[in-house]
Structure 1
């Protein structure tokens, strides 16, 4: 993998995503659109259908589901660790949002186009099941931790139980496990949901940024979220790959897929969830935008360096 090829690969999704963000800014300022109903639409309709379709088409096997479980566990541990460390230094709402951000990343909107170029079809499938683990974290423990910044334990649990993505995940497992046939028209109609998810998810960042005032910028929150994403996560993904190589042994494709999860920018869903819960969406939007701009500069360096460390011999 040449550095020039990797840089070109990263620039294509970057400009596409930034164009969607810019479109969101225009909509917020010129059309006065409220992004909150769009955030609810993403969480309660578009995301569940997207996950259901991806899981059914992926053909889950025990090995693939172990990838999902592994990423879910790592993301959850990162969330709990950062949440505990952040509590003495940030207000409850900001600490909860920072904890949520620590466990997730833009594995879908940004990482998937890169994975489709760098990996073989088998590697892309492995990456997709890693992505599902992070999505599952976002709408279970991650959502709960974010909600706890504003709501009681009972209210937070109630909000999680209302999330259809959890049930979409379980239904997809049943459908795949029992090999239940689905109408072709249903699966063809669901093809529009993944690109819609990307478009609206990035536009929400722009809509939120369109309302940001300089007085609302928080360098501490932005710096902490970027430090976790680009400082701690690459080390965690490297540790996971080295541990798997030393124990069960994994191929180069899976190693690259896991390393990619560790170096993509902050998740756009950070803004979506903050918007839905009424948290600090403006701070989240600025942090996500900055991390997306930084990603093309640091990802080639990270991936080449990390791959050199995990290469056999």
Structure 2
């Protein structure tokens, strides 16, 4: 386990540096988190979504991964929305519902999967991530918006998010096997892949800087331990239990997924709260400071939690 932790720490260290740079920019240059959040939500995230759905090999098993995670996210969200409303009188419960199911698949699960399972794990993680994106742009965003807006207003805000439309376009082109060709001996596909690689880098940088920017705007750092605890309960207890039960069912009865995909599904049940939660909560005005602290603390905890869980349970899959 110690070797896994060291490898995680080395691979993920630059990610934490970007969060630190975001904090410095927020404090010294007064860069606002809302500006970064809007760039992420309306430009970078749709491009990442399009690329993932456009390039991932389409199989029945691959297509089932987004559906699997979308349904699981939605069910757990409704459970924690109910618990949140019982716990808080304000809209913190709406944020908790989103935080309970929006995992950090892009900045954390993807590099972790490559460290653990090799390069062949990249495409399945991206495909599964589409399920998280669809969830975040529909159920998750809508439930969070309800904290400040009416049902009609929340639905209107949800429908203008571009990521779902980007996913539909990318998947349609993928199924139809439409690819970029060449123009006057210039390989357009190579140019596209180069741009996509650049966008993915920007996605990671802005996403993690957003954590630092959100923390920099906090006047007095007060940790809502109840919120962090319940978000951690969802991400590190409920998710592994539910996914673990499914893996037992699949291995003994269904036999639907190969071993590699089951391992990836298990890994995705262990990840911390997703960074883009800050982008959405900032845009909707629903406690972005609580989102930032929860993301930071659960990400630090996950660096120890994932190596432990993988080393103990991965041999049974």
Band the TM-score falls in, shorter-chain normalisation: over 0.9
Q: Give the secondary-structure state (helix, strand or coil) at the position aligned to 2:87.
A: coil
Measured in 2, the distance between the counterparts of 1:11 and 1:114 equals 10
Measured in 1, the distance between the counterparts of 2:276 and 2:295 equals 9
Residue 227 of structure 2 is aligned to residue 243 of structure 1? no
Q: Deviations over 1:159-191 (max 9, x none)?
A: 111011010010011101111122423343222
With normalisation by structure 2, the TM-score equals 0.93
1:197 is aligned to 203
The total of aligned residue pairs comes to 308
Q: Is the 8 A contact 1:24 1:203 kept in 2?
A: yes
What's the offset of the Cα at 1:92? 3.9
1:283 is aligned to 290
What's the offset of the Cα at 1:265? 1.2
Q: For structure 2, list consecutive stretches of 5 or more residues without a partner in the other structure.
A: 181-187
Q: Deviations over 1:233-260 (max 9, x none)?
A: 1212212211221232233211210111
Q: Deviations over 1:134-158 (max 9, x none)?
A: 1211111101011011111111111
Q: For structure 1, list consecutive stretches of 5 or more residues without a partner in the other structure.
A: none
1:304 is aligned to 311
Cα root mean square deviation, aligned: 1.5
Q: Give the secondary-structure state (helix, strand or coil) at the position aligned to 1:214.
A: coil
2:264 is aligned to 257
Q: Is the 8 A contact 1:237 1:261 kept in 2?
A: no
2:184 is aligned to none
2:214 is aligned to 208
With normalisation by structure 1, the TM-score equals 0.94
Q: Is the 8 A contact 2:23 2:212 kept in 1?
A: yes
Q: Deviations over 1:20-53 (max 9, x none)?
A: 1100110000000111011011111100101111
Measured in 2, the distance between the counterparts of 1:154 and 1:217 equals 33
Q: Is the 8 A contact 2:101 2:234 kept in 1?
A: no
1:91 is aligned to 89
Q: Give the secondary-structure state (helix, strand or coil) at the position aligned to 2:179.
A: coil
Question: How do 1:10-49 and structure 2 match up within 5 A?
Answer: 10-49=8-47
Question: How do 1:153-232 and structure 2 match up within 5 A?
Answer: 153-182=151-180, 183-184=188-189, 185-214=191-220, 216-232=222-238
Moved more, 213-222 or 152-161: 213-222
Measured in 1, the distance between the counterparts of 2:195 and 2:122 equals 22
Measured in 1, the distance between the counterparts of 2:193 and 2:31 equals 31
2:80 is aligned to 82
Q: Is the 8 A contact 2:109 2:125 kept in 1?
A: no
Measured in 2, the distance between the counterparts of 1:157 and 1:187 equals 34
2:185 is aligned to none
2:57 is aligned to 59
